[in-house]
Amino acid sequence: MTHEEVIRYYDQCQTDYELVWHLKSKMAMHYGYWDENTSSLREALEKMNAHLATVIQARPGDYVLDAGCGVGGSSIYLAARHQCRTMGISLSDKQIATCRSNAAAHQVGDRCLFETRDYTSTGFEPASFDAVWAMESVCHANDKKAFLKEAFRLLKPGGRLAVADFFSLPAGHEPEGRPLMQRWADAWAVPFFELSGRFSEMMEECGFKQINCGNITDKIKPSAQRLYYYFFPGWVIGNLMRLMNQRNQTLQKNLWSTFYQYKALKKDLWNYLVFSAVKPH
């Protein structure tokens, strides 16, 4: 998967996220976190940031790399709620411009920086960050281990890593499950969804310690189901718009991703996991 394909996906599909996922108000391009007290998608989106902040042990004064920062929501949350300093990076110039605008609007522009960079080769100095945060972004890497190596290099001794993402179960790599998983991946500009066991092994190979994996699939299921329900009216409207040349192939594939992801979930082909680890002293 090329950088250009990932950039095109996010730049062109931003309007979809704005229409159905409260992107302008919540600045979140993730599935959210639904606990027993969650009554709306807006709440779920906020709670996912809170959950990952707990996992990463966000502290006042921490300098956090937001690797694959979207439109800046997580960085802004960390700055506003935990008094962190953040550096958000994305491949997309459009996203970075939106991040800066959002940070200024929320009056945290002095604590939130944003730059166009590749999270597998950032160019930052070694041991620059107290924490590395990756929310549903590592899936886009062709080489997931390259991200982990770079995260390890960038962390200070004792620094923390948190990765929330979609991971394939073994059945998703088998001949019966692979086609559905790959159709979903292609629709999202994802080369493949990594096996959770292999990701854990790579973390250890890169030198991380205190590796932990939390399965929060049940906490994202309402969002997966919501996306699936959006597919049916979206299919009708999307096809009409495409006939009028108002919707391109990238947008149509993004629509179909809502169908694929839920069907794959119902077939037990993937889980939603949160990995955490520490760079030893």
Domains of the chain: 3-170+190-218+271-278 (3.40.50.150)
And the tokens for 219? 């906490």
- What does the pLDDT average to over 127-147? 98
And the tokens for 126? 């070694």
Cα separations (Å) of 42 from 26, 124, 182, 189?
A: 7, 34, 29, 25
Per-residue pLDDT for 244 more than 90? no
Per-residue pLDDT for 61 more than 80? yes
- What does the pLDDT average to over 152-168? 98
Residue 241 pLDDT grade (very low, low, confident, very high; cuts 50, 70, 90): confident
Per-residue pLDDT for 234 more than 90? no
Q: At what angle do helices 3-20 and 249-266 cross, to 10 degrees?
A: 80
Per-residue pLDDT for 19 more than 80? yes
Instruction: Give residue 46's pLDDT.
Output: 96
SS3 content of the chain, % helix, strand, coil (to 5): 50, 20, 30
Instruction: Give residue 174's pLDDT.
Output: 95
Per-residue pLDDT for 124 more than 80? yes
Closest CA to 226 of 7, 22, 10: 22
First-to-last C-alpha distance (Å) of the chain: 35
CB proximity list for 182: less than 8 A, separation 6 or greater = 192
Residue 8: burial class (beta carbons within 10 Å; 0-12, 13-18, 19+):
middle
Per-residue pLDDT for 6 more than 90? yes
List 240's β-bridge partners, or say none.
Answer: none
The rounded distance, in Å, linking the Cα atoms of 22 and 133 is 22
Per-residue pLDDT for 173 more than 90? yes
And the tokens for 210? 């205190």
64 neighbors 131 (Cβ within 8 angstroms) = yes
Q: How many residues does the chain have?
A: 281
**Average pLDDT in the chain:** 96
Alpha helices in 73-159 (DSSP H): 73-82, 93-105, 144-154
And the tokens for 183? 């159709």
Closest CA to 226 of 3, 36, 8, 40: 40
216 neighbors 54 (Cβ within 8 angstroms) = no
Query: Amino acid identity, residue 212?
Result: N
173 neighbors 194 (Cβ within 8 angstroms) = no
Per-residue pLDDT for 63 more than 80? yes
Closest CA to 65 of 134, 153, 140, 8: 134
In percent, how much of the chain has pLDDT > 70?
100
- What does the pLDDT average to over 204-212? 98
Q: In this predicted model, what pLDDT tens digit does every residue of 67-117 receive, in sequence order?
A: 999 999 999 999 999 999 999 999 999 999 999 999 999 999 999 999 999
Instruction: Give residue 189's pLDDT.
Output: 98
Beta-carbon-side half-sphere exposure of residue 27 (alpha carbons within 13 Å): 21
Per-residue pLDDT for 246 more than 80? no
Closest CA to 279 of 104, 152, 102: 152
